[in-house]
Amino acid sequence: MRRRTGLCGLIVGVGVLVAASGAIAQGVAFTADRAGYVTTADGARLFFRTIGRGGDTLIAIHGGPGVDLESIAGDFAPLGERHVVIFYDQRGTGRSTLPADTATLNAEQQVADLDAVRAHFGIARATLIAHSYGPLLAASYALAHPDRVRRMILLGPVPPRRGDFWKRFAENSSARMDSALQRQLGDANRRLMAATSDDSVRAACRDYWRAAMVPRLAEPARTLPLIRSDLCGSDPKGIAYGLRTTNRVVMASYGDWDLRPQLRTLHVPTLVVHGEAEAIPMDLVEEWVTSLPDARLVKVPRAAHFAYAERPDVVWPAIEAFLRAP
């Protein structure tokens, strides 16, 4: 049986495609561009970084599972012009705790960790902005704590149900890679899985994402130079652990997920942004909008998985308009 993993761990052929604005915090004085750690109830340490200034605060949720905040931080910089943005590395990624006991790597714990971040910054009702796998975590959090979420922005989201998503996503991704690119990807992935030194992890990571970005972009030659985030910029130990362990274990914990019945009772304003050339099927993503009572979808032309970098002229104005709405 094939191992099923997240968006940073999709099997393609013989290679593996390892692929929040809230109410103003009461009593908390935010300082732009700072970093530190949130300590959870069970003693884990979650690395965070904040950017920007403004009257509201967003919690940004990265994808994967298994990548880290560096996968979105560079490209989310425009948000810092009007908002404070809190980025954090999920447990088992980046500079956060890499648990020896993988029993703590699960969807329920990820929800608890996100709540620990919210509480640390004193945010009563958060707006969550999430990418890729991140929307599944954001929605799971909102369902668990609807009174603590003000609104959500879901960027290039996985669908609200598993269904045949993995099969269709694999087919779409594979069709965008020729045999040479698949060989490059497979070779880089094998090196990444076997790397033992920090330098070898980072080198394999860069080769991996150099190839893996191609099926994730609508027009790679034009848009790859536009990506400002560094998916290999974090602690190499966290990069390796996240892609080797966290991706597989956390994704498995969601099982055959289907949030649609619960979403129908979740009255949280939600903006869904999805590239028209995305490998994640649009009809499955539309189920977020048909399930949530107060959601709208922005379809982005000439964009795929990184629509905010591929078409910033479309995405950021749509997000700002959503954030300004009463």
How remote is the C-alpha of 44 from its chain's centroid?
Answer: 20
At the top level of CATH, which class does the domain 20-164+259-324 belong to?
alpha beta
Residue 134: partners with Cβ closer than 8 Å, 6 or more residues away: 61, 62, 63, 64, 154, 155, 157
Whole-angstrom Cα distance, residue 107 to residue 251?
A: 8
Domain positions in the chain are 10-15+166-221+230-251, 20-164+259-324
Cα atoms in the Cβ-side hemisphere of radius 13 Å centred on 91: 30
Whole-angstrom Cα distance, residue 70 to residue 276?
A: 25
Q: CA of 65: how far to CAs of 11, 130, 135, 137, 245, in Å?
A: 15, 12, 11, 10, 10
Q: CA of 95: how far to CAs of 111, 223, 240, 283, in Å?
A: 18, 28, 11, 36
User: Sign of the CA dihedral 281, 59, 217, 206?
Assistant: negative
Straight-line distance from the first to the last Cα atom of the chain, in angstroms, rounded to the nearest whole number: 49
3-state secondary structure at position 19: coil
Per DSSP bridges, beta strands 45-51 and 84-88 are antiparallel
Residue 121: partners with Cβ closer than 8 Å, 6 or more residues away: 25, 28, 30, 57, 86
Q: For every one of its 326 residues, what pLDDT tens digit does the chain have, with 9 covering 90 and above?
A: 334 456 665 422 222 223 333 322 333 444 457 999 999 999 999 999 999 998 899 999 999 999 999 999 999 999 999 999 999 999 999 999 999 999 999 999 999 999 999 999 999 999 999 999 999 999 999 999 999 999 999 999 999 999 999 999 999 999 999 999 999 999 999 999 999 999 999 999 999 999 999 999 999 999 999 999 999 999 999 999 999 999 999 999 999 999 999 999 999 999 999 999 999 999 999 999 999 999 999 999 999 999 999 999 999 999 999 999 98
Judge residue 53's burial from the number of C-beta atoms within 10 Å of its C-beta, 0-12 exposed, 13-18 middle, 19 or more buried. Answer: middle
Could you tell me if 143 and 267 are in contact, meaning their C-beta atoms sit under 8 angstroms apart? no
